[in-house]
Amino acid sequence: MAYKVPFVDYPRHNRHLMKGLMPVIRDVVFNRADFILRGDLKQFEKTFAQFLGVRHAVGLNSGTDALFLSLYAAGIGRGDEVITVAHTFVATIAAVVRCGAKPVLVDIKEDFNMNVDLIEKAITSRTRAVLPVHLNGRVCDMAKLMGIARKHRLMVVEDAAQALGATFNGQKAGTFGFSSCFSLYPAKLLGGIGDGGVLATNSDRMAQHVRYLRDHGQKRETGDVLFYGFNTRLDNLNAAVIHAKMRYLPEWIKRRREIAGRCQKGLAGIPGLALPHFEGNRKYFDIYQNYVVRARKRDELVDFLSRKGVETLVSWRKPVHKHKGLKLSHFKLPVTEQISKEVVSLPMNTELTNQQVAYVIKCVHEFYQKN
Ligand SMILES: *Cc1c(COP(=O)(O)O)cnc(C)c1O
């Protein structure tokens, strides 16, 4: 079934960009055939680092690998504990586990991000790092978090996969910690034509180390292999395409905030529906990777909207620690568990027209008039 209002609309997104992207693809693939670790990747990394205001951006195969290498390159492994959340994509926690370290999960707050007041209680003699997730395009409370990390000498790695361009007290997501991870997955604010990710850091050593790690540990200039590495490079073609898309970033962020504003106005005052506009908003500049509401009768609302041709997404019906195979069920996270029963992401993408947004608002009203 074709949705009247799809959650993401890749064909429409790409058609809008076709005129600008075709010459890039023609040049990279057919004129130069530049595929691996070429100039386009370098240029993209430079622009991305400039956008954030950090010294280095390293293009990788995925946001997941950026997270994994952030921890791995910092020497985090067996016997270490990393404090993070369960209300996130499984990749956040998998990165910790795949390093050999133990994830220690703390609960979240009403804005879906880590409850930083719970960090200190979770610290043990084995704690090495804190891994906050800036979910849905809102930065976690980094003032408090960084203070705690400094006091206890913990490393901070940011999962900024959903927060490119979001700020807290004027500072961009992904620039607070020792390193940070961004995702270029197609549905993300800055999506590629396939998988991709970026590790950002101000550390020269970290950046160099990860550049070797992503390329089999090779120092290409001399032919030396310095250590065992991985193959997790960002494809040059993907980098060229994403680089070309970066100029639209401010416009896309503006449009997402505009859509969120329309939803806020249009959906205000519905009993049983909590909107993602939280207290103390002035500190935060959200980029709305997702527009997530907390809804009474969530599953019925999802069904109703689907029948009306409105595609939604529930992230996540089951928090990560509730999946038996992941062996994390000893964690008790009441807010995470409650929120997973209520959250639903309404359509949010830069292709939405104002008419489509108005239609979604109308449908939500219709549901709550009956329910
Ligand atoms: C998308 C995402 C990731 C993983 O990024 P990939 O590029 O898909 O590997 C990690 N964490 C969060 C919060 C994400 O949304």
The per-residue DSSP string of 170-235 comes to TEETTSSSSEEEEE--TTSSS--SS--EEEEES-HHHHHHHHHHTBTTEETTTTEE-S---B-BPP
The verdict on the CB of residue 63 being under 6 Å from ligand 1 is yes
> How many angstroms does the Cα of residue 63 sit away from the middle of ligand 1?
5
Q: Who contacts 65 (Cβ-Cβ below 8 Å, separation ≥6)?
A: 197, 214, 230, 232
What is the pTM for the complete model shown? 0.98
SS3 of 147, please?
helix
Q: Is 197 in the pocket of ligand 1 (CB under 6 A)?
A: yes
CA distances from 214 to 59, 202, 230, 365 (A): 9, 18, 5, 49
CA–CA dist 73, 232 (Å, integer): 14
The predicted-structure confidence for 46-89, as pLDDT tens digits, reads as follows 999 999 999 999 999 999 999 999 999 999 999 999 999 999 99
How many Å lie between the centroid of ligand 1 and the Cα of residue 320? 14
Ligand 1 neighbour 103 (Cβ under 6 A)? no
Distance of CA 316 from the midpoint of ligand 1 (Å):
13
pLDDT, residue 280, reads 63
Q: According to the model, what pLDDT value does residue 278 have?
A: 80
E-strand stretches of the chain:
56-60, 81-85, 102-106, 127-130, 155-159, 167-168, 171-172, 179-183, 197-201, 218-219, 224-225, 273-274, 284-285, 291-295, 343-346
The CA 87 to ligand 1 mean position distance, Å, reads: 13
Average pLDDT, consecutive stretches of 10 residues, N- to C-terminus, the chain (371 residues): 93 95 98 98 98 98 98 98 98 98 98 98 98 98 98 98 98 98 98 98 98 98 97 98 98 98 96 87 92 98 98 97 98 98 97 98 97 92
Cα–Cα distance measured from residue 62 to residue 112, given in angstroms and rounded to the nearest whole number: 23
Atom of ligand 1 nearest to the CA of 65: 9
Cβ(91) – ligand 1 distance below 6 Å: yes
Is the CB of 285 within 6 Å of ligand 1?
no
Considering only CA atoms, which of 62, 101, 12, 44 is closest in space to residue 247?
44
Ligand 1 atom with minimal separation from the 134 CA: 13
Ligand 1: atom nearest CA of 197 is: 7
For residue 159 and ligand 1, the question of a CB distance below 6 A is answered with: yes
User: Measured from the CB, is residue 185 less than 6 Å from ligand 1?
Assistant: yes
Work out whether strand 102-106 and strand 81-85 pair parallel, antiparallel, or are unpaired.
Answer: parallel
In whole angstroms, how far apart are CA 253 and each of 51, 190, 247? 13, 10, 11
Q: Is 136 in the pocket of ligand 1 (CB under 6 A)?
A: no
| Cβ of 89 below 6 Å from ligand 1 | yes
d(CA 250, CA 287): 10
180 Cβ closer than 6 Å to some ligand 1 atom = no
**Bridge partners, residue 313, by sequence:** 345
β-pair partners for 127: 81
Give the number of other CB atoms < 10 A from CB of residue 151. Answer: 10
| 226 touches 219 (CB < 8 A) | yes
**Tokens 């908003």 label which residue?**
281
